C-alpha cells in the first residue's frame, strides 16, 4: 500500500500535474493540503475517472484539505474535533477517514505568521487540539497516521540555514514541543533522515531561486503510530515533482507499507 501527502498549493492550478502523478506513482491514498477551492469547484469527476474517491474539507479560501483514495473511504470526520477558531471561523484544516486497513488524517497546520502574532497563538492551540483528537487512535492497534503540512521543521537539520530562520516561526521551541507532545501520544516520524540525499526538504519558496539552490525546509511530515511504523517498507520525497513549470512549492512525501486493503 502506498500513502502520500502533498501540499498542492491550489488543486485547480495543479490538476494536470496531480492527475499525471497519481497515475504514474501508483499512490493508493493521497492526503492533500491547500486545495484553495470550495466543494463546488473540487475536481471530483476527473479523480473518479482515475478510480479515486475524495473526501473534502474546503471553503474556497486559502486553506482546504482532502483525502483521495482508491482503496475506499469510510467513517469520514470533517474538521478538527474541539479545534479552535480563528477570527470566528474554524478553518478547513483537517479531515480524517479509514482508507483500507489504515486510519489517516490530512492536516494543514496553521502557518503562525510571526512570533507574537495572534495566528501564532492560534497555531499552538490548534496543535494542542490535534494532539487531544488523535490520542486514542495513536495508542490503538490499527495502523494510524497524521500526514500533512505541519508548518514546523522538527530539527535544525530540517532547514537549509538556521541563521535564516532566527526569530521566525516554524523553528521555535513551542512549535517543536507540540511535535514532541504528538510523539509522546504514540506517534513518530516514519520518514527517516537521511534518505537518498543529505537534506530531504519538502518545501522550497518560489522566490530567490530557492529550489535550484536547495534552500528548503522539511515541514511536510508523516507521523504514524507503532502498527503503522512497523509496516513501513520505504519512504521518499518526490523532488522531481517540484521541478518544471506549474509546480507546487511543496513536493510529495511518499510512504510504502506492507499493508493490503481488505
CA distance 17 to 134: 32
* Given the residues 28, 52, 203, 250, the one annotated as active site: 250
Residue keyed to cell 497524521: 146
7 labeled part of a ligand binding site: yes
Residue keyed to cell 502574532: 117
* Angle value at C-alpha 119, between 165 and 225, nearest 5 degrees: 75
Nearest to 9 by CA among 38, 39, 32: 32
Q: In what order do the strands lie in the sheet with 94-99?
A: 74-78, 94-99, 102-108, 144-149, 220-224, 188-189
* Given the residues 149, 158, 220, 256, the one annotated as active site: 149
91 labeled part of a ligand binding site: no
* Given the residues 108, 120, 150, 203, the one annotated as active site: 108
Q: Please report which helix (H) or strand (E) contains residue 146, including its range.
A: strand 144-149
149 labeled part of a ligand binding site: yes
Q: Please report which helix (H) or strand (E) contains residue 24, including its range.
A: helix 15-25
131 labeled part of a ligand binding site: no
Q: Is 120 a catalytic residue?
A: no
Q: Over the range 147-158, which residues count as b (16 or more CB within 10 Å of their CB) and which as e?
A: bbbbbbbbeeeb
CA distance 178 to 170: 11
Q: Is 119 a catalytic residue?
A: no
Q: Is 206 a catalytic residue?
A: no
- Residues classed as catalytic: 108, 149, 250
The annotated binding site for Mg(2+) is made up of 7, 34, 149, 151, 249-250
The annotated binding site is made up of 7, 34, 149, 151, 249-250
Amino acid at each position: 500500500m502506498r500513502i502520500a501527502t502533498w501540499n498542492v498549493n491550489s488543486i485547480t492550478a495543479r490538476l494536470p500535474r496531480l492527475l499525471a502523478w497519481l497515475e504514474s506513482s501508483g499512490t493508493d491514498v493521497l492526503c492533500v493540503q491547500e486545495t484553495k477551492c470550495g466543494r463546488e469547484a473540487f475536481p471530483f469527476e476527473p479523480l473518479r475517472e482515475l478510480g479515486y474517491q475524495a473526501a473534502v474539507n474546503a471553503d474556497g479560501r486559502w486553506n482546504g484539505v482532502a483525502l483521495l483514495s482508491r482503496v475506499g473511504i469510510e467513517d469520514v470526520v470533517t474538521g478538527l474535533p474541539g479545534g479552535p477558531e480563528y477570527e470566528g471561523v474554524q478553518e478547513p484544516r483537517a479531515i480524517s477517514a479509514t482508507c483500507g486497513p489504515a486510519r489517516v488524517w490530512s492536516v494543514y497546520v496553521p502557518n503562525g505568521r510571526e512570533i507574537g502574532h495572534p495566528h501564532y497563538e492560534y497555531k499552538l492551540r490548534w496543535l494542542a487540539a490535534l494532539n487531544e483528537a488523535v490520542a486514542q487512535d495513536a495508542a490503538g492497534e490499527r495502523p494510524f497516521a497524521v500526514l500533512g503540512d505541519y508548518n514546523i521543521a522538527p530539527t535544525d537539520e530540517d532547514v537549509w540555514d538556521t541563521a535564516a530562520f532566527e526569530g521566525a516561526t516554524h523553528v521555535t521551541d513551542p512549535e517543536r514541543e507540540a511535535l514532541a507532545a504528538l510523539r509522546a501520544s504514540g506517534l513518530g516520524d516514519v520518514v527517516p533522515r537521511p534518505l537518498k540525499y543529505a537534506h530531504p526538504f519538502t518545501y522550497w519558496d518560489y522566490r530567490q531561486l530557492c529550489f535550484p539552490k536547495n534552500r528548503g525546509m522539511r515541514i511536510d511530515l508523516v507521523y504514524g503510530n507503532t502498527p503503522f511504523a512497523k509496516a513501513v517498507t520505504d519512504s521518499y520525497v518526490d523532488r522531481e515533482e517540484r521541478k518544471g513549470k506549474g509546480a507546487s512549492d511543496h513536493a510529495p512525501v511518499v510512504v510504502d507499507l506492507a499493508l493490503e486493503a481488505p
